[in-house]
Structure 1
Amino acid sequence: MHFLKVYRRVLALLAPDRWVAIGLAFAALAIAGLSFLEPVLFGRVVDLLARSERIEPEALWTEAFALLALWAAVGLSSIGANVATALLSDRMAHRNRLTVMGGYFEHVLSLPLSFHGDTQSGRLMKVMLLGSDNLFAFWLSFFREHLVTFIAAAVLLPLTLIMNWRLGLLLVALVVLFAVVSAWVISKTHAAQSQVEALHTQLAGNAQDALSNVMVVQSFTRLGSEARLFRDIITQVLDRQFPVLNWWAVVSVLTRSAATLTVIAIFMLGTLLHLRGQATVGEIVSFMGFATLLIARLEGAVAFVSHLLLQTPALEQFFAVLDSRSSVPEKPDAASLGRVTGDVRFDQVAFAYPGGPRILDGIDFHAPPGRTVALVGQTGAGKSTAMALLQRLWDPVDGSITLDGHDLRDITLESLRRNIGVVFQEALLFNRSIRDNLVVGRPDATQEEIERACRMAEAHDFIAMKPQGYDTMVGERGSSLSGGQRQRLAIARALLKDPPVLILDEATSALDAATEARVQKALKALMAGRTTFIIAHRLSTVRDADEILVFEGGRVVERGGFAELVKLDGRFAELVRTQLSLAEST
């Protein structure tokens, strides 16, 4: 059963704490045994009182005192075992919840951009928080309360057959009937609850999508539409949730009725057996105690199982993310490179997304250390895809890419990306201080090194003017800074990382002319002595490149220097003329 498979995996997550879990299981067995003894002792006391007239007073008091002393010892032991179980289960659940959250977070960060492009960040956060909370709730309640119930039903309930097999069979039959009804309800409601959880996830994703684009929502007067879409999903959640709740309401009523019906059934059968001399009054009282205890625990267990049913889809989503595998797996014996010289070679590289046509084919070029190579062409020609392959965000379907003679697939991802710096079209900044954003690629950088990188990037002066200087918070996505300031911080960040290979991905295309001039000066400082790849639409920015590769339809159709390609009067010259005519018309 899939339901059980999910929870076997939930318990398997406790492997690092297996000995604590095993200890809690033994404690639960002890608690179940002690709970079993209390009705037995109560029955013995009743039988003792029933035959008290036939026993000498001194012997009666001796036997009564022994039973009461044993009963007190059982009660105190049960209290101690419950306290120890509560403390250990609470700490184990808290500890493993945070461990699982940390593992999930690290795993998601390691997944390729293709995964994040298809999955909303709001959904991932919702899956992490809800999944870890459900894991915590299961571990805590299972080990602190309900494991005792399952042990009592599976191990101790059959022991009642030894006391009185007739009453024992009745009790077993009633418990089995109770379990069968609960299992039937679970099977009826599992699929419906999965739909509910999928809608909850959609709700979180839509909310995150709207909040992250609140400027668009307000500018295009989408407030009513977005709120209406949100309410529509809420309505769907309620329409699917209420039938599930109705089923569990029925089970709740049956559960509460079961306690009364079971006690009445045992009393009636016990009275009949007593009249036949097949059961003592003490045995009847003991079995009524067993019934009350078991039904009360089973009522809690049914509520627990119903909660498990409600949270199963959320756990399935949690495990689905954990089971997501990278499209660029790292070899077990991958080499960890130190600082490379920056020799890059594409050897007949081809690439296609899974199930799609080739969008790169026959890409072949060599960039020796320190060389500047520009990639130009229309949108969709394959420039950014080629540089994504260099960072090993994807693997080529044919050919190879090497760095200092090493195939990228034979290098650890960490050492590969440590040697590559990227300045994006949009400076991607954390909602942290300026200093924290600068040192993401080099956490051990000194203040002197940070300031030197910022001076080279033309960023130190505007940072010094901020109220808290380098400790100034930049806001979400750097909202407190201008576009030029954000871009100069991105350049300073790359300078501080000091990578031998640099990728400039449309690094100045979003800037005005005055800001671009300052940023270009910073870029020249950054490019010095590095193997640099420039992805550009503005052809004026690639005039000084050592080699220009013209992409079209996923192939390199022309290559050479700026003047050489203009003189060739081919595709590049046509692009230059188009941009010049557009500039003149504006």
Structure 2
Amino acid sequence: MTATTTAPEAPSTRPSGPHGNETSGGHPGGRGPRRKSPADVAQLREHPVPLRRIAALFTPHRTPLAIVIAIIVVSSLIGLATPFLTKHLIDDAIPQQNVHLLLLLVGGMLAVTVVSQALGVIQTWMSTKIGQQVMHGLRTDLFTHLQRLPLGFFTRTRGGEVQSRLTNDVNAMQGVVTNSATSVATNITTAVGTAAAMVVLSWRLSLLSLLVLPPAIWLTRRVARLRRSIQSRAQRALADMQTQIEESLSVSGVLLAKTVGSGPALSQRFRETSSELTELELQSQMAGRWRMGTMAIVFAAIPALIYLAAGLPATSGGMTIGTLVAFTALQAALFRPMLGVLNVGAEVVTSMALFSRVFEFLDLPVTIDDPDDPVRIAPRTARGEVTLTGVSFRYDGADRDALDAIDLALPAGGHVALVGATGSGKSTLAGLVSRLHDPTSGSVAIDGVDLRDLTLQNVADLVGVVSQETYLLHTTIRENLRYARPDATDAQIEAAAKAAQVHDLIEALPDGYDTLVGARGHRFSGGEQQRIALARTILRDPAVLVLDEATSALDNTTERAVQGALDEVSRGRTTLTIAHRLSTVQDSDLIVVLDHGRIVERGTHEELLAADGRYARLWNSQGTSAVSVVS
């Protein structure tokens, strides 16, 4: 079935690779400045994000954000006091044996550390709280929005992609908000403050340091470029490994591997991927090692040159020992924030790309939504009369209508069956009745009210659907049933199970209704899963019941058991049955034959056989199987 909405071709969240996230190193062995990821740049080019939209997320937190920024600035400036205290300690307090000054300076150094650490704790708590609150709002908004997207979105989009946006991307954004943003602010403040303090102490030595810094940065960036291609390959290998794990170790994957004997081949493939990752990790660690060694020599030379300049009469300018020690301490601490400042561009692109990926899903249109002024039909008093008037429907991108000019009435309490070849439009029509889609033209109404005038919740209360593909949650039978009606009592749950003819089976289990169904219900047979799903629908007590080939995947014996439950449940409800086996619907009040989206025949079983048309040919083609099913 063609989907109604085209999912965005957005890149999946990139794995961190064997190295984890790159960080700027504060010494020659560090990884150096990050480079902008081509995938991030491409993402932003395809789906740009206005800064004001990101700023709007933080608007409710303006005051705590201002406090965090102030703490960062104050903490960075306080940290710069230590070299100056050290200068006076060496130049004044110790040579003069001034105990009072010595105690003040030592106390000041301890106070700087205590205050800085205290401010750091407060800043971490506040920034983390802000980040968590913003991400909580974004995560819940995204989840709610995804729930409202049309079914076609999920048929076109990989489940892992949706999960990745909702978990990995949002979690990564949390790191951006609480770590990267504060790191950028801290690095900028520290770098500027440190450079200013160095100039205050000695402009000559500051010039010397700044002249030596560019080649060190150049070397670091060369190493980063060298590692980029290796990391890209490692990320692809890691993504391949994750796919292998997801596909091979799911219930369905393990079942397939065991039945076709592909376990050894899967193990070999996994071994090869793991070996590739190991080799790439080794290459990455060794990449540019000699350049890093060269940079280590450069940084070892900087203090030596400073001491040389301070010792020469022409360049010392009367520099004291305390000034020299303080300046050296500042210079040693400058490289890390400088690299942090250089990383700002990459950090911004990375964070913007994360927001872009999340906003891309948030911006997908909700084509089926609640009306502004909804009408309500009380489920317990609804008659359940369904009317389709002039209904046509075409999937996005299709070259013809899936349904064309459908006029059909399902009388309250009546049983109407839809039959026809594969692709004739049966499931599409059923999807319109349950409002999984809205008609391109025409209307679908319950008790005379257009479904588009009802809330989606009201439609779900009125229309129950049992499909061929049952979906059971990995929890107990009781919770699976209660999923449809959270306030249901145990007595109501058991009554629904009895109606679905599955109560005795459940009671015979050691844990009864508290039995864990297992992943996707694989613990139970197809017929048992179908009856549990039927009981879940019954628990909602819908006025209209849609049975979308609910027994087509079952064997004859199981089908008779499930069909008996369906017949019992359908009594007194308006029922629309889609059937492949015609013998299961021969007692319907009305049988409608669809062909290429049009109604070509309608009538009772006897009338359609007498007409000797398409239905009669379908019946005759199933004659042998039909007799065996009925007998």
Q: Which TM-score applies when normalising by structure 2? A: 0.77
Query: 1:226 is aligned with what amino acid?
Result: L
Change (3 A) 1:419 1:180: farther
SS at match of 1:354: coil
Equivalent residue in structure 2 for 1:459, among 494, 498, 502: 502
Q: Deviations over 1:429-484 (max 9, x none)?
A: 11211111111111001122112222222222222222222212222222333333
Change (3 A) 1:242 1:72: closer
Q: Indicate the residue corresponding to 2:307 in structure 1.
A: 267
Equivalent residue in structure 1 for 2:247, among 198, 209, 220: 209
Query: 1:77 is aligned with what amino acid?
Result: V
Change (3 A) 1:90 1:579: same
Q: Is the 8 A contact 2:248 2:254 kept in 1?
A: yes
Matched residues in 2 for 1:63 and 1:228: separation? 71
CA positional deviation for 1:189 = 6.0
Q: Indicate the residue corresponding to 2:598 in structure 1.
A: 555
Matched residues in 2 for 1:318 and 1:249: separation? 35
Q: Is the 8 A contact 1:438 1:493 kept in 2?
A: yes
Equivalent residue in structure 2 for 1:48, among 92, 95, 98: 92
Equivalent residue in structure 1 for 2:431, among 363, 368, 388: 388
Unaligned runs of 5+ in 2: 1-35
Equivalent residue in structure 1 for 2:374, among 327, 335, 338: 335
Equivalent residue in structure 1 for 2:561, among 518, 522, 531: 518
Q: Indicate the residue corresponding to 1:37 in structure 2.
A: 81
Q: Which TM-score applies when normalising by structure 1? A: 0.83
Matched residues in 1 for 2:56 and 2:309: separation? 44
| Number of aligned residue pairs | 579
Matched residues in 2 for 1:260 and 1:332: separation? 71
Change (3 A) 1:206 1:524: same
Q: Indicate the residue corresponding to 1:78 in structure 2.
A: 116
Q: Indicate the residue corresponding to 1:365 in structure 2.
A: 408
| Structural mapping, 1:421-460, within 5 Å | 421-460=464-503
Q: Indicate the residue corresponding to 1:502 in structure 2.
A: 545
Change (3 A) 1:500 1:263: farther
CA positional deviation for 1:45 = 2.8
| Structural mapping, 1:232-311, within 5 Å | 234=274, 253=293, 256-257=296-297, 259-272=299-312, 275=315, 277=317, 279-296=319-336, 301=340
CA positional deviation for 1:226 = 3.3
Q: Is the 8 A contact 1:351 1:360 kept in 2?
A: yes
Q: Deviations over 1:204-258 (max 9, x none)?
A: 3343223333222222222244344445655676777776666686786566556
Q: Indicate the residue corresponding to 1:416 in structure 2.
A: 459
CA positional deviation for 1:387 = 1.8
Q: Indicate the residue corresponding to 1:153 in structure 2.
A: 191
Q: Is the 8 A contact 1:41 1:71 kept in 2?
A: yes
Q: Deviations over 1:144-184 (max 9, x none)?
A: 76642232124553454344444344445555665666567
Matched residues in 2 for 1:519 and 1:585: separation? 16
Query: 1:347 is aligned with what amino acid?
Result: T
SS at match of 2:547: strand
Matched residues in 1 for 2:57 and 2:262: separation? 44
CA positional deviation for 1:38 = 0.8
Q: Indicate the residue corresponding to 1:26 in structure 2.
A: 70
- The higher relative CO (CA closer than 8 Å, separation ≥ 6) is in 2
Matched residues in 2 for 1:185 and 1:337: separation? 66
Change (3 A) 1:234 1:404: farther
SS at match of 2:483: helix
Change (3 A) 1:102 1:395: same
Kindly indicate whether residue 572 of structure 2 is the aligned counterpart of residue 529 of structure 1: yes
Query: 1:486 is aligned with what amino acid?
Result: Q
* Percent of aligned positions that are identical: 31
RMSD: 4.2
Matched residues in 2 for 1:419 and 1:313: separation? 43
Change (3 A) 1:516 1:215: same
CA positional deviation for 1:130 = 4.0
Change (3 A) 1:325 1:365: same
Matched residues in 1 for 2:129 and 2:207: separation? 39
Change (3 A) 1:242 1:167: same
SS at match of 1:365: strand
Query: 1:357 is aligned with what amino acid?
Result: D
Matched residues in 2 for 1:431 and 1:420: separation? 25
Change (3 A) 1:405 1:462: same
Matched residues in 2 for 1:236 and 1:313: separation? 31
Higher mean C-alpha deviation, range 395-404 or range 571-580: 395-404
Matched residues in 2 for 1:346 and 1:555: separation? 13
SS at match of 1:502: strand
Kindly indicate whether residue 409 of structure 2 is the aligned counterpart of residue 351 of structure 1: no
Unaligned runs of 5+ in 1: none
Query: 2:77 is aligned with what amino acid?
Result: G
Matched residues in 2 for 1:151 and 1:220: separation? 62
Change (3 A) 1:540 1:136: same
CA positional deviation for 1:571 = 0.8
CA positional deviation for 1:64 = 4.5
SS at match of 2:517: coil
Higher mean C-alpha deviation, range 568-577 or range 198-207: 198-207
SS at match of 1:28: helix
Q: Indicate the residue corresponding to 2:29 in structure 1.
A: none
Q: Is the 8 A contact 1:127 1:314 kept in 2?
A: no
SS at match of 1:32: helix
